[in-house]
Chain A
Amino acid sequence: MHTAINKYSLVCNATINICGCFKRRSSHFVYHPERISNELGKTSKKNMYQAINSAMDLVLSKDPNSVVFGEDVGFGGVFRCTSGLLERYGKDRVFNTPLCEQGIVGFGIGLAVAGTTAIAEIQFADYMFPALDQLVNEAAKYRYRSGNLFDCGKLTVRTPCSAVGHGALYHSQSPESFYTHAPGLKIVMPRGAQTAKGLLLSCVRDPNPCIFFEPKIMYRLAVDDVPDDDYELPLGKADVLIEGKDITLIGWGTQVHVLLEVAEIANKDFGISCEVIDLVTILPWDKQTVTKSVKKTGRAIVSHEAPLTGGFGAEISASIQEDCFLHLESPIRRVTGYDTPFPHVFEKFYLPNKWKCLQAIKELINY
């Protein structure tokens, strides 16, 4: 089931009209929709917020002991992900919280540890830092520190992240790597609508606390054929979206689409065969798939929007170096945001766009 749904098909340009959002000056990538999967039954065209909405709808309808809460979620939330849920499930199960991120997450941990499926929304990933302590010290360590007597695995925290074209300092960051330093958490980032629904359902049902980062530019722009039914996509498993032999490109979230386009250009213009991997789960990450790929290609680029230093690319690079040393034909390269705050007016320049990635590919191939 999973391979079918994850199989990527090269239909990018033809589908531009479906999304209807490409006129946006801001988008620095071309969205590559998922292939239609027949195995999961009937599908409908949904963008990412609708897919996420559908996942929560399923959870609330099937699991009577589940709740959804966060700032303004009763009204559908800033990005409409929870729209209609309050009307369908009532204010006891879908509710607005006051403005208090630390409280929201702590409250969610409490709900979860007492057995309730808790889906908390933090309005922007940039606003999750007040809850850092709750996530790192409470959620991540609950099972471990209680000798497995208690856990808060029923907690899922959803939050929008990454660049959106005009978000400036506090509506653009990709803070995933901060949380990767907390063993016990799972950190997941979908690349579009279809993956978002399946992965969110997996996060909600996974017996570990999960942080689900939603690249906010995808909410409207990412339109896929999304199965109407319930389906789960595996956590901790990367997706090989394009197979190739010369170089491995690794990314997650929005950046996957940049890499897919880069692979197309590299192939067409330079005859370079790229293997593109969507890491999907950032913690714990699928080392096996990455290692296998780099042993085959001998070269690797990791690309993310977050700044270079301490980005998760550093961890992946170090691991590749350890595991694939004798297979490497060139150094491993990270193509990332700069070590600067996320800029207000230089977003386009800041982002690790396709040209920067292509440049890196050429340098590594000619190394």
Chain B
Amino acid sequence: MNGSSVLRKHSLKNVLSIFESRFFSSTSEATFETKPFKLHKLENGPSTTVTLSSEDAIKYYKQMQTIRRIETAAGNLYKEKIVRGFCHLYSGQEACAVGMKAMFRDTDSIITAYRAHGWTYLMGVDPFSVLSELTGRKSGNARGKGGSMHMYAKNFYGGNGIVGAQVPLGAGIALAAKYLGTGGVCFTLYGDGAANQGQVFEAYNMSKLWDIPCVYVCENNGYGMGTSSERASASVAYYTRGDYIPGIWVDGMDILAVREAARFAIDYCSSGKGPLVMETATYRYSGHSMSDPGTSYRTRDEIQEVRQTRDPITSFKEKIIGANLVNIDELKQIDKEIKAQIDDAVKRAKADTEIPLSELSGDIYAKPLETKVRGVSPFESLEHIRIGQAVNLN
């Protein structure tokens, strides 16, 4: 496994040297040491030495910063009462998503819970469309029909509102990949709180029994709503909780560590060894959702301390500047561009219109026998319609 990553590093290097001149910075590639991984029932783990190209450094920085901006914008829209429904922000956890996504191949897929805005963007949805979903407008990723927790894209089986419910689905998605021989793995994400749902263990068992290429990713941000992980979980070593399923603990605030762990997980699962559990140790800055100020069950100092010492973006920024992969001016320019892009997306997401009322009764069934949807209205009865094509069946 280490061998293959070394190979990849070399070929990347060659490609990069061609582009080197395009960058202001002087180095095209640098090597870093990650925190050690903790392993459960594994002889060897991911490599702690990671190589990063300046091109990737910029890409990851952009992605993390865009997610942070989207979330800030979402929070503001919520405060302006333009976002309805519930709204859970991912700020602080950006490195988890960006690190995993960095290794995704076309065949790999992901399913997560309700903290889904960042993933939706990473899986190819425009920030405008993410924000429009939040504001319930027609350019929303799900036409405004789902709202914050419900976003989808190709190979992204969604945000899911019911805690833990997505975990067995992930195992099923991975089983389909195995059955169809796509070679893909499914990253199945859930929180430290969700880790205590019974369904998780049912999924573990089935996937090990049938050697399903499923990576169970427990994003441990320390809290499930107001309850800290220690108070909710008899064991907080989430990477060991698959028992008979091997596991890795990874520093989820370090995008490079997550990337290495994801590389390892993909290699492991797609080589037929069955499932893997991966715990990403991370932190959420905001409250659980917008109605939670997030300070009654933890101290402001705690949040400040993480922001100052472990912030995934700041620490990455320091690293790549220190290694001369990028220079400060480039990053400032990127920040400016992202800000402009998100500001513009916000404007458009506010101005966009809602779907027509006829869509209230759209897409309940595929081929309804009775085309009228029942209910009571002083107006016309509702016609059942189909609005779009399902992406998963294409």
B196 in contact with A99 (CB, 8 Å): yes
B231 in contact with A343 (CB, 8 Å): no
Q: Taking A96-B227, A99-B197 as contacts, is the C-beta distance between A346 and B162 under 8 angstroms?
A: no
User: Which residues from chain A contact B375 at a C-beta distance below 8 Å?
Assistant: 307-308, 336-340
Which residues of B (184-236) have their CB < 8 Å from a CB of A?
193-194, 196-199, 224-227, 231-233
A350 at the interface (CB under 8 A from B): yes
User: Which residues from chain A contact B45 at a C-beta distance below 8 Å?
Assistant: none
A167 in contact with B374 (CB, 8 Å): no
A58 at the interface (CB under 8 A from B): no
B373 in contact with A340 (CB, 8 Å): yes
B361 at the interface (CB under 8 A from A): yes
**Assembly CA distance A246 to B10 (angstroms):** 86
A170 at the interface (CB under 8 A from B): yes
Candidates B84, B161, B382; contact of A166 at CB < 8 Å: B84
B357 in contact with A168 (CB, 8 Å): no
Q: In the assembled complex, how far is the CB of residue B152 from the closest CB belonging to chain A, in whole angstroms?
A: 14
Nearest residue (CB) in A for B291 is A78
**Assembly CA distance A71 to B136 (angstroms):** 29
**Assembly CA distance A117 to B393 (angstroms):** 50
A349 in contact with B161 (CB, 8 Å): no
User: Which residues from chain B contact A325 at a C-beta distance below 8 Å?
Assistant: none
A299 at the interface (CB under 8 A from B): no
A72 in contact with B376 (CB, 8 Å): no
**Assembly CA distance A248 to B227 (angstroms):** 47
A338 in contact with B197 (CB, 8 Å): no
Candidates B165, B296, B376; contact of A352 at CB < 8 Å: B376
Q: In the assembled complex, how far is the CB of residue A38 from the closest CB belonging to chain B, in whole angstroms?
A: 38
User: Which residues from chain A contact B224 at a C-beta distance below 8 Å?
Assistant: 71, 98-99
Q: Taking A99-B194, A99-B197, A308-B376 as contacts, is the C-beta distance between A340 and B162 under 8 angstroms?
A: no
Candidates B144, B199, B378; contact of A345 at CB < 8 Å: B144
A335 in contact with B376 (CB, 8 Å): yes
B85 in contact with A340 (CB, 8 Å): no
**Assembly CA distance A340 to B377 (angstroms):** 13
**Assembly CA distance A10 to B103 (angstroms):** 66
**Assembly CA distance A126 to B354 (angstroms):** 25
Q: In the assembled complex, how far is the CB of residue A362 from the closest CB belonging to chain B, in whole angstroms?
A: 9
Residues on A facing B (Cβ under 8 Å): 71-72, 74-75, 78, 96-100, 102-103, 126-127, 129-130, 166-171, 307-309, 333-341, 343-346, 349-350, 352, 355-356, 359-360
| 16 A/B residue pairs, CB under 8 Å, sorted by A | A96-B226, A98-B232, A102-B198, A127-B162, A129-B162, A166-B84, A167-B86, A168-B149, A307-B374, A337-B375, A338-B361, A340-B382, A344-B136, A345-B136, A355-B378, A359-B378
